[in-house]
């Protein structure tokens, strides 16, 4: 009991210091000035909503944008017949009455009275989208603000182009170039001899990764790499009578998922990959076999999987009662 009170005092002190540091950080580096939050959320408070028809009828500069938007997923919701929540230009750009009140043939609409979305920081841009795309309507956005992309100043508009037409997100054929524009190390890995066919367009980054957020490491769509990989490589899913213990859950213990100079996606070539765990091998009982023997020398030029072809798991026992991962 005598030690409990000092410990509680220390923990309370740490908590107070941590809270003060967070408060200092929020006040010194806000996403946007507090007075601007109302503008970000509702637009110019002195303007009124006039609807798309009144806005577009007076200004034909946006005809192409309006046409593309009309044929998009968001544009489908402009029609009240759909029964969906009404979405139009003013939903994002704010009320437009002041933008068109002094418009003439020579004087275009006043863009300055609309929300300056392009000038917003990334977090504020995303906040515009999250007003509608909340966790309730879009479950994979429930942790967007703490995602690796949001923390690195990536906004919704970096991947989603609302005026682009029917396809308002990066297409599967565009994902590779789009993602590797930032993830340059991954692009180098895909250039290796053995790689998943992402650069060829047969796979996409989002087949394995959730770009918005995931509770799994590296934003994977599976709780473990095995759970994800065996969606395609089902023959390795098991269960097997004799499991290869170190690879039961983590394929990445042996494989480099993006690319490798070693076939098939191995982090290290055989037999050296296997010898990281199986040091003795077939040579002798010593963990440091001598290279002087012919058998030891031959093993360094042989792939273990030439014999142990069922390396992911096997149902075939050996004479000593353990699995050998042989085909039969």
CA-to-CA distance for 195 and 5, rounded, in angstroms?
58
> Which pair of tokens denotes residue 199?
């650069």
Q: Which residues are CB-neighbours of 283 under 8 A, at least 6 positions away?
A: 289, 290, 293, 295, 296, 299
- pLDDT value for 9: 61
Q: Where are the alpha helices (DSSP H) in 119-267?
A: 122-130, 148-151, 172-180, 184-190, 225-229
CA-to-CA distance for 279 and 254, rounded, in angstroms?
16
- Say if residues 68 and 163 touch (Cβ distance below 8 Å): yes
What is the Cα gyration radius of the chain?
29
For the chain, residues with pLDDT lower than 70 are 1-42, 57-62, 77-86, 104-107, 135-137, 165, 246, 279-300, 318-328
- pLDDT value for 159: 86
> Which pair of tokens denotes residue 79?
């029609």
- Using alpha carbons only, give the angle 239, 243, 249 rounded to the nearest 5 degrees: 75
Cis ω for the linkage preceding 271 (within 30 of 0):
yes
Say if residue 328 is exposed, middle or buried (CB neighbours under 10 Å; 0-12, 13-18, 19+).
Answer: exposed
Helices and strands of the chain, counted as H and E runs: 13, 4
- pLDDT value for 132: 79
Strands (E), the chain: 194-195, 242-243, 259-260, 313-314
- pLDDT value for 5: 58
- pLDDT value for 26: 43
Q: Which residues are CB-neighbours of 237 under 8 A, at least 6 positions away?
A: 226, 230
Strand partners, 5: none
Task: State if pTM tops 0.95.
Answer: no
Query: In this structure, what DSSP letter does residue 246 have?
Result: G
- pLDDT value for 323: 59
Q: Dump pLDDT digits (tens) for 210-239.
A: 888 777 888 888 888 888 888 888 888 878
């Amino acid at each position: 009991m005598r030690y409990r009170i000092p410990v509680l005092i220390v923990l309370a002190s740490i908590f107070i210091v941590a809270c003060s540091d967070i408060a200092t950080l929020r006040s010194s580096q806000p996403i946007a000035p507090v007075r601007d939050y109302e503008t970000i959320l509702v637009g110019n408070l002195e303007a009124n909503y006039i609807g798309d028809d009144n806005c577009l009828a007076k200004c034909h500069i946006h005809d192409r944008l309006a046409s593309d938007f009309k044929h998009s997923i968001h544009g489908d919701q402009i029609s009240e017949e759909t029964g969906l929540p009404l979405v139009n230009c003013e939903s994002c750009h704010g009320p437009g009455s002041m933008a068109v009140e002094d418009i003439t043939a020579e004087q275009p609409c006043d863009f300055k009275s609309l929300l300056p979305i392009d000038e917003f920081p990334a977090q504020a841009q995303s906040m515009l989208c999250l007003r509608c795309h909340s966790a309730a309507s879009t479950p994979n956005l429930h942790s967007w603000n703490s995602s690796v992309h949001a923390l690195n100043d990536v906004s919704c508009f970096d991947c989603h182009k609302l005026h682009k037409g029917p396809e308002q997100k990066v297409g599967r054929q565009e994902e590779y170039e789009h993602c590797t524009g930032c993830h340059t190390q991954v692009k180098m890995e895909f250039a290796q001899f053995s790689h998943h066919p992402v650069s060829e367009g047969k796979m996409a980054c989002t087949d394995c990764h959730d770009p918005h957020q995931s509770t799994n490491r590296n934003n994977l769509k599976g709780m473990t790499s095995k759970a994800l990989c065996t969606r395609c490589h089902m023959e390795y899913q098991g269960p097997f009578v004799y499991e290869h213990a170190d690879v039961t859950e983590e394929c990445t213990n042996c494989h480099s998922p993006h690319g490798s100079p070693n076939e098939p996606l191995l982090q290290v070539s055989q037999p050296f990959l296997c010898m990281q765990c199986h040091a003795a091998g077939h040579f002798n009982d010593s963990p440091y076999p001598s290279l002087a023997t012919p058998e030891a020398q031959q093993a360094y030029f042989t792939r273990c999987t030439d014999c142990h072809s069922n390396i992911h798991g096997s149902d075939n026992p050996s004479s000593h009662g353990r699995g050998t991962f042989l085909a039969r």
